[in-house]
Structure 1
Amino acid sequence: MCPTPTTAATTDRPKRTQGQNWITPKKRLAIYLRDGFCCAYCGKGIEAGVTLTLDHLKPYSLGGAISDHKNLITACLNCNSARGNRSLKAFVEVSAAYHQREGQEVLAYIRRQVRRVLKTKVAGEMLAQRGSCRKVLDEVQGGRPV
């Protein structure tokens, strides 16, 4: 019997579980604020009823940093799920056309966003006032000022 080949991702890096615990609520909210509570890929905002997630520009399984804000972008659940482990460029080429957007425009937007400074102090104050990231998102979705 031949040994099964392993990848660097499975041998050199600890396996991370899915869920909300891999990033602090303050950092998560700061990234959502930076990105205007909108999906970088399709452009839909939280007020349109989409579920927001964070997408790793370079997947952790391929060596990307797990919680570095420069490796994270806001994505709706549909776009994040559709991307899977595809490269950013390959996914944007397909998804941009589907959403009647220009791929180069989407990539330029993402490059601009990840260079922006996170407003972690503002995010922390919002969390302190409202108690959770979910409550902040509910207020934004309901059209109430944050």
Structure 2
Amino acid sequence: MNTLVKTPVNRKQKNQGMNWISQYRRLAIYARDGFACCYCFSSVEEGIQLTLDHLTPYSKGGSHHEKNLVTCCRRCNSARGNRDLQTFAYAAASYKEIEAKTILAHVNSCTDRALDIKTAKELIARRGSCRQVLLEMI
């Protein structure tokens, strides 16, 4: 069974908010991706707001599996919408003056890495929340 694609769900029927993923997994994905946007490479130290982006958009049946999620800044996440990854990589490359293949290779590199849930849990236990961990990085 492919864990990256699921049967589409009506978003109004499934309230997502921030509760669709645990703080531990969220922080572990941010850490796996270097606390930086996988598309524009801006980092949390630069003051960007991190989000998670579904490589196969949730609205098109993408799952919440870690291999389908990457760290993304709010700007890139909003700009991407539900466009497919390659289309968006070409658009992002044009405004960041890099090649789309660089973005796509970086995304693949990030999703190939394992998550370190244990370290994420330890950081949240010491700091109280994923948000607090990120605030202390700035």
Tell me the residue number matched to 1:136. 133
Alignment of 1:29-68 (within 5 A): 29-65=27-63, 67-68=64-65
Report the Cα offset of residue 136 of structure 1. 0.2
The Cα offsets for residues 27-62 of structure 1, whole Å up to 9 and x where unpaired, read as: 000000001110011110001110000000001111
Residues 81-137 of structure 1: CA distance to partner in whole angstroms, max 9, x if unpaired? 000010010001011111111100110110111010000000000000110001100
The secondary structure found in structure 1 opposite 2:122 is helix
1:14, distance to aligned residue in structure 2 (A): 4.8
Distance in structure 1 (CA, Å) of the matches to 2:41 and 2:110 = 13
Alpha-carbon separation, structure 1, partners of 2:80 and 2:106: 17
How many residues of Structure 1 are paired with residues of Structure 2 in the alignment? 130
Tell me which amino acid in the other structure corresponds to 1:50: I
Query: Structure 1: which 4+ aligned runs deviate by more than 4 Å?
Result: none
CA distances 1:53-78 after superposition (whole Å, capped 9, x unpaired): 0000001111111x211000000000
1:134 and 1:127 mapped to 2: Cα distance? 9
TM-score by length of 1: 0.85
CA distance in 1, matches of 2:93, 2:16: 26
Give 5+ residue unaligned stretches, structure 1: 1-7, 142-146
Larger Rg: 1
2:86 is aligned with 1:89 = yes
Q: Percent identity?
A: 49
Counterpart of 2:109 in structure 1 is 112
TM-score, normalisation: structure 2: 0.90
Report the alpha carbon displacement of residue 18 of structure 1 after superposing the two structures with TM: 3.9
Give the drift of 1:17.
2.8
**Corresponding residue number in structure 1 for 2:4:** none
Question: Residues of 1 paired with 2:103 and 2:77: CA distance?
Answer: 15
1:72 pairs with 2:63:
no
Counterpart of 1:26 in structure 2 is 24
Give the aligned CA root-mean-square deviation in angstroms.
1.2
CA distance in 2, matches of 1:102, 1:63: 28
